[in-house]
Amino acid sequence: MPGSPCHDEVVRAFGPGIRYANGRIDRAALGRLVFADARQLRRLDAIVHPHLLAEIAFQALKLKRGGSAPLAVVDAALIVQWNLQHKLDGLIVVDAPERTRLARLAAKGIPAERARRIMAAQLPAARLRRAADIVIDNDGGLAGLRRQAKAAWERITAMP
């Protein structure tokens, strides 16, 4: 969000060329920079990680104090990579085979070589699956994905 400390730090670190005219970060432009150079990716992680942790902790505390939500969902692809899974009561991993992920990235206009660099910067699927309490396989159609998501929700909401 323009004006937030994290946003401003990212723009200072990577330059104004990663912003749209409205001030928002152009994630595709930033991605081209960080997935082409592992040092730049580490630099981005070093900026974003503390802000993300603080925001997760703040929102969790707010929910706990308010007592209005029986559970909270954290949608963050790097939970396991940043070793944060131990801070959660449960972890759901949504996974698809490499060929499917490559095809989906290609459909978004991301060239195969860049897609492979992005995927190489991520943890192997096997490690994510081992860390998960629930795995959702996202290699089929939307109906199958919905069935698995519903089953995962039922399992989670049944937890004490």
| Span 106-122, pLDDT tens digits | 999 999 998 998 898 88
Please compute the mean of the pLDDT values over residues 66-92 and round it to a whole number. Answer: 83
Please compute the mean of the pLDDT values over residues 152-157 and round it to a whole number. Answer: 90
| Residues near 63 by beta carbon (within 8 Å), at least 6 away in sequence | 69, 72
Kindly report, residue by residue over 25-62, the tens digit of the pLDDT. Answer: 999 999 999 999 999 999 999 999 999 889 888 888 88
pTM, rounded to two decimals: 0.76
Helix (H, G, I), strand (E, B) or coil at 19: strand
CB 59 within 8 A of CB 72: yes
Q: Has residue 92 got a pLDDT over 90?
A: yes
Nearest to 24 by CA among 3, 47, 51: 3
**Burial profile 17-52: b = 16 or more Cβ within 10 angstroms, e = fewer:** ebbeeeeebeeeebbebbbeeeeebebbbebeeeeb
Q: Which one has a higher pLDDT value, 160 or 127?
A: 127
Task: Quote the Cα angle for 8-14-17, to 5°.
Answer: 95
Residue 110 is given by DSSP the state -
**pLDDT band (50, 70, 90) for residue 159:** confident
